[in-house]
Amino acid sequence: MLTMDPDKVCYLVIKAREFDAKVEPHEQDPGSNPADDRGVGILEDYADDPTFQELTGALESLNEDEMVEVMALTWLGRGDYDTKEWGEALAHARRVRDENAVRYLTGIPQLGDYLEEGLSRFGHSCESVEMGRL
């Protein structure tokens, strides 16, 4: 049974998706039109990117039990476990969780999708949280 506040997980989903939308910085094409390139920089991924900082900050603010559940939800959403194996997923997350957990999670492509899928397996949705942000 999920004990973490689903809205907190939904916030992570939103931040992870914002981060997933980032692309590698590109060099400006000398033949490109600067008017066409406006706004592209916001989607580029830089080391001091506030989107990455928001995601890592949110993950770092989790207590130990919440971090374990986020890791287990990620695996559940990815299909590594099913809801019947939730206890096993939590036990595995407790065993492997260490000081690199945030780096591990931010390195997972589609983290937001996996978290949301994991939540949905417990009957929760991020739809109302996402609608409130638009």
pLDDT for the residue numbered 128: 75
CA gap 62, 40 in Å, rounded: 32
Digit-coded pLDDT (tens) for 122-131: 999 998 765 5
CA gap 124, 92 in Å, rounded: 23
Domain ranges of the chain: 6-20+41-133
Q: How confident is the model at residue 134 (pLDDT cuts 50, 70, 90)?
A: very low
Average pLDDT, the chain: 84
pLDDT for the residue numbered 47: 57
Residue type present at position 32: S
pLDDT for the residue numbered 49: 76
Digit-coded pLDDT (tens) for 58-70: 999 999 999 999 9
Digit-coded pLDDT (tens) for 73-119: 999 999 999 999 999 999 999 999 999 999 999 999 999 999 999 99
Average pLDDT, integer, range 24-42:
48
CA gap 72, 86 in Å, rounded: 7
CA gap 30, 49 in Å, rounded: 25
Q: How many CB atoms lie within 10 A of CB 63?
A: 9
Supply 124's token pair.
């929760």
